[in-house]
Structure 1
Amino acid sequence: MHDAPEIGSTSWSELLSPRYSAATMTLCLGVALFAFNGFLVSTSLPTAVREIGGLELISWAFTLYLVLSIVGGASGALLKARLGARTALVGSALVFLAGTLIAAYASSMTEVLIGRALQGLGEGIIAATCYALIPELFPSRLVAKVFGAEAVVWAVAAFGGPLVSGLLTEHLSWRAAFLVNVPLALIFIALVFRIVPKFSGEVARLSVPFLRLAAIGCGIMLVALASIMHTLAMEVLFVVGAAVVLASVIAVDRRSRIPLFPSDAFALNSTVGIGLWIVLLMPVAQASTSVYLVMTLQDLWGYGPTKAGAFNATFAIAWSICAIFVANIQDPRRRAWLIRLGPTLLVTGLAIIVFGFSLDIPLVVMLGQIFIGTGFGVSWGFLSQTVMESARSGERDRASALLPTLQSAGYAIGAAVAGLAANAAGYPEATTPDALRDATITIFFVSTVIGVGALVAGYALPLRKQNLLAIEMQKQL
């Protein structure tokens, strides 16, 4: 256990030392299951649809995965507390594996949807539990490097996932692309048995708050459905309804005997509460680039899929490089400054994208993408660590496990809001370059405004007390 912050010299090689190498590989593989799976499926699923039919259901393959992954992530800390991390990880990996096999050998789109739902449920629990294990398996001085390593996994997945899936789908079968997950899951299970200790406590009776988990699923489903509504009024209604449902879940959870979230989740007077707002709002603001940038590059400037994809990947590259570069920083004051710099760069990058489209200059838009990726890279690891280490006594697992879940929810909400802005601006009906450019500018302007919320939260984050504690410990060392 590593409850107290540690300040001291450290190097990347320590992650690969005999003491930490297995833990590093386990957590990175947990991230890889999620990262590669998304890229593998998005590339191979269109071919699957042409073979087995069900084109009208293709969007649900992603929607169900997302909804179930968020529900699974919300239950991750509870399952870890009641069953132990090893049981939770192995059980969820088996669920993920079962979903993979069902989808890979599906003969209808309905079977693919069942498999995708099981994949989402299993991966949501895996991601949440892995995050909760980071402060247990690594000392504080290495946590930022763990997040840097995970950022590299995401970057590799962004490039390697579509390439591997494309080659397998083209030369073997779309089913082979799905089956790439099988050896990854089996290796992950073996590593969990090796590195994650047996549960030392007594396995408690598992009282699962199904009503709250179902409400979370319904809230995210409303967000997803908002994007396919045909009228602006219905889109707004669904988004507002989702906000009401999810806010009600948080309010009820605070009074529950079996809480899913930290007691100060989203409170405006605590480091954890404000930190979680940043974790939510940054992906909400950035989601518009994931949904609309590649499409706009193709439609407005005539980019091919490969060129547009490489353009979009500059975000992941910047995130990874910057996460590696800042991971050696141990000074708490500099870390606090970088946490606040992240949302600042995000807003700047989105504003640059708006400027780039208004000038009709692709390189300016790419610069905006790089700024956004840099913002995430310099701040995300330190922000996550701050939330983990600022959690109240007995709530660290719930705070840690909520991070990846909230990130996924942020992207879902952001995609819905971007879709709402796109439809209001006439993006789907745009038939001329000028109309498409104007609609795109509106989408990214709305995202910039949302990003300002993350920026304000960043400067409101109460880090002073934590910094003083870290500095005092540094003096003692």
Structure 2
Amino acid sequence: MSATPTAINSNDAPASWSDLLSGRNALRSITLAGGVGMHATNVYIVTTILPSVVKDIGGLEYYAWATSLFVVASIIAAGVASRLVEWLGYRSACLLALLVFSLGSAGCALAPHMVWLLAARTVQGFGGGVLVALSYAMIRVVFAPPLWSRAMALMSGMWGISTLSGPAIGGIFAQMGSWRGAFWALLPAAIILALLVQFTLKVPPQSRSDDKPESIPILKILLLAAAVMSVSAASLFSSIVMNFAGIAFGVALIALIAWLERRGGTRLLPSGAFSLRTRIGALYATMILMILGLTTEIYVPYFLQVIQGHSPLLAGYLTGIMSCGWTLAALLFSSYSGTRARFVMKAGPVVVIVALLALSLLLPSAAVLDSYGLLPLCIVLLLVGFGIGMGMPHLMAKILSSAPADEGNLAAYSLTTVQLFATAVGAALAGMVAALAGVADPGGLAGASNAAHWLFICFAAAPLLAFFTVRQALRLNAPSPVKTGQAEESLS
């Protein structure tokens, strides 16, 4: 059974929150947001407990790999999510993803050493990647175009909610000396979401939209994962030459993907995605660069505990302020359109640059925080996320509307792939910068302080580049709009 996306009043521009959160749209919103929320809560649990994990089972040199491998697996999973929907239907694909995610969580809870934990995190990543990919992709299918930016803001809002639940769960278990319990705590939440999916999403397995890909670009997905792993592997070396060699090889693999995309065949990203001369390419570049700025958060709990001496619970909550800023800005500015939307897209990178440079001064210095308290740090952490969230819903909505008419569904699935790629590369680069700055050697207070200083200075370069790419995107014209009125799978 199919129908057109729920109509909204065409005179209401933009659409209101009540259009998104009423009637059948309310159940759809809750279910789709739940997939993002499960993934995001897990991210903040692990970010909070990771310092306790390495104290217990070792592996500080692999600290960033716990994030990188999780996200690499998510990238591969996001790439096959559309095919899973064709084979199994949306509901069954979600349930399978939740099962895989739960198995990975149990594996993390049982990990006797870091290698085991990394393997289990990889399994977790496969399940989480499918959940997030389906959540974002279905926005285009079940909601009318005027609701897209609101729906994107709702997905971002789940990260804000997760900054309350994730650090709380992780911090409480870490302070109890039982970080493994934090992973076990994910299983009841997965069961609840599975029941929600089972009883609210009734999508026939054979339902398809006209522009779903006919096959999976598996080679390109594996090349993308290899590019991330190249940078991650390079971060294990203390030699700058090896670091840059790993980065160069990763860039070469991305160039190979772009070459394969130009040759035709099943696409990984919509046409023009690898060129800054196209609007959609500049939009993707901006999204990647902005997300890179946020990946510095993986080390914030470690710096707060080692340099400032804060508890795992407080360190987790302080780190979550960054994503709270993203959520707050997304909710505040998602209703903007026209000139106001373009303004917040251009202003966001400036806010992030200033905030990251301020962190490079605040975090390494215990004396500054002893004198002025946590308020300055909280404000700066909030501004990092706030600057990213200002324009992110509009960036994503413009990517959907800028894709060629027959590649709209591909653009929807690509949002997750590109975000995960940026997160994985950012985690790998953060690990590289931190290692070069001495986080493990000499380590301790001196190593952490030096790493905190240089990490945020180096990563301020990402939003600086985004300052120019977003302007490039807004100067270029979009191609013909995506098809609207795509068949909507029956959700009841």
**Structure-1 separation of matches of 2:280 and 2:32:** 23
The match for 1:158 is: 163
- Pair 243,122 (structure 1): closer, same or farther in 2 beyond 3 Å: same
Q: Per residue, is there more helix in 1 or in 2?
A: 1
The match for 2:347 is: 341
The match for 1:248 is: 256
**Structure-2 separation of matches of 1:355 and 1:49:** 26
Question: Match of 1:454, as an amino acid?
Answer: A
Offset at 1:186? 3.5
Q: Which of 272, 280, 286 pairs up with 2:280?
A: 272
DSSP 3-state at the match of 2:356: helix
- Pair 308,465 (structure 1): closer, same or farther in 2 beyond 3 Å: same
For residues 254-279 of structure 1, what are the alpha-carbon distances to aligned partners after superposition, in whole Å with 9 as ceiling and x for unaligned?
42422221121132122211111011
Question: Match of 1:258, as an amino acid?
Answer: T
TM-score, with structure 1 as normaliser: 0.83
**Structure-2 separation of matches of 1:333 and 1:434:** 47
The match for 1:235 is: 243
The match for 2:207 is: 200
Deviates more, 1:311-320 or 1:373-382: 311-320
Q: Which of 218, 223, 231 pairs up with 2:226?
A: 218
Q: Which of 303, 317, 323 pairs up with 1:316?
A: 323
**Structure-1 separation of matches of 2:462 and 2:178:** 41
Matches within 5 A, 1:396-435: 396-426=408-438, 428=440
Q: Does 1:461 align with 2:473?
A: yes
Deviates more, 1:176-185 or 1:162-171: 162-171
Question: Match of 2:30, as an amino acid?
Answer: M
The match for 1:369 is: 381
Q: Which of 64, 69, 72 pairs up with 1:67?
A: 72
DSSP 3-state at the match of 1:267: coil
- Does the 8 Å contact 1:100/1:116 carry over to 2? yes
Offset at 1:75? 2.8
The match for 2:12 is: 8
The match for 1:127 is: 132
The match for 1:474 is: none
What is the number of equivalent residue pairs in this alignment? 467
Question: Match of 2:331, as an amino acid?
Answer: I
Q: Which of 380, 392, 410 pairs up with 1:380?
A: 392
Question: Match of 2:251, as an amino acid?
Answer: A
Q: Which of 402, 406, 416 pairs up with 1:394?
A: 406
The match for 1:473 is: none
**Structure-1 separation of matches of 2:54 and 2:253:** 33
- Pair 286,179 (structure 1): closer, same or farther in 2 beyond 3 Å: closer
Deviates more, 1:345-354 or 1:167-176: 167-176
DSSP 3-state at the match of 1:197: coil
**Structure-1 separation of matches of 2:380 and 2:117:** 37
- Does the 8 Å contact 1:96/1:119 carry over to 2? yes
Q: Which runs of 5+ in 2 are unaligned?
A: 370-374, 483-492
For residues 379-409 of structure 1, what are the alpha-carbon distances to aligned partners after superposition, in whole Å with 9 as ceiling and x for unaligned?
1111111111211112122222222222222
Q: Which runs of 5+ in 1 are unaligned?
A: 471-477
Offset at 1:432? 10
**Structure-2 separation of matches of 1:63 and 1:432:** 23
Q: Which of 180, 184, 201 pairs up with 2:185?
A: 180
**Structure-2 separation of matches of 1:134 and 1:255:** 30
- Pair 173,196 (structure 1): closer, same or farther in 2 beyond 3 Å: farther
Question: Match of 2:350, as an amino acid?
Answer: T
Offset at 1:114? 4.4
Offset at 1:326? 1.8
**Structure-2 separation of matches of 1:218 and 1:397:** 25
**Structure-2 separation of matches of 1:367 and 1:212:** 41
Report 1 or 2 for greater relative contact order, CA contacts < 8 Å, sequence distance ≥ 6: 2
Offset at 1:118? 2.2
The match for 2:486 is: none
Matches within 5 A, 1:18-97: 18-43=23-48, 59=63, 61-80=66-85, 84-97=89-102
Identity %: 26
**Structure-2 separation of matches of 1:279 and 1:255:** 25
TM-score, with structure 2 as normaliser: 0.81
**Structure-1 separation of matches of 2:479 and 2:272:** 20
- Does the 8 Å contact 1:351/1:368 carry over to 2? no
**Structure-2 separation of matches of 1:36 and 1:11:** 27
For residues 328-376 of structure 1, what are the alpha-carbon distances to aligned partners after superposition, in whole Å with 9 as ceiling and x for unaligned?
33x3222122222222222232233346579974455544323222112
**Structure-1 separation of matches of 2:376 and 2:113:** 44
Q: Does 1:352 align with 2:364?
A: no
Question: Match of 1:260, as an amino acid?
Answer: L
- Pair 390,366 (structure 1): closer, same or farther in 2 beyond 3 Å: same
- Does the 8 Å contact 1:35/1:154 carry over to 2? yes
**Structure-2 separation of matches of 1:110 and 1:349:** 35
Aligned residues: CA RMSD = 3.8
